[in-house]
Amino acid sequence: MAKYGFDLTGFGSVKKFKDVLKENNLKSKGRKACKSFKTVVGRRTSCQHQWKNKDLKLVTKVNPITGEADYTKNKEFGYAGYVGIEGESKAVEKLAKSIKKHARYIKGENPKEREFI
């Protein structure tokens, strides 16, 4: 299984992110997955947003379509935050190229790991 990670990533618009999904045969309706865990100051919940097909899974910290993030009530449309990709190597490579093509901003990347999320 191949993996790829992007640090803070912004597309600038919902349309640009939907273009990425369309180019990679991912449905625009994603799934939200949350985990609750203990910290020194109590319980915390962390959520991710996921889009997948049989060959590929895309995970973001912020949902670029709805703007939903678990760390703020403000909506951040077109912003993905941390991005992780995993799946069949050619599909991962294609999705990574698509993200780089459509993103307005990428702070960093790791072509070997889902390092950031």
Tell which residue, 1, 11, 8, has the closest CA to residue 93.
1
DSSP letter for 58, please: E
Looking at residue 55, its amino acid is D
| Series of mean pLDDT values for 10-residue runs along the chain (117 residues) | 98 98 94 88 88 97 95 92 98 98 98 95
Q: Rounded distance, CA 48 to CA 28, Å?
A: 15
Are 85 and 57 contacting, i.e. CB atoms less than 8 angstroms apart? yes
Can you give the pLDDT at residue 37? 84
- Biggest alpha carbon–alpha carbon distance for the chain: 43
Q: Rounded distance, CA 80 to CA 40, Å?
A: 28
Give first-to-last CA distance, the chain, whole Å.
16
Can you give the pLDDT at residue 44? 78
Q: Rounded distance, CA 113 to CA 22, Å?
A: 24
Q: Which residue has the tokens 């949902």?
A: 63
Are 104 and 11 contacting, i.e. CB atoms less than 8 angstroms apart? yes
Can you give the pLDDT at residue 43? 82
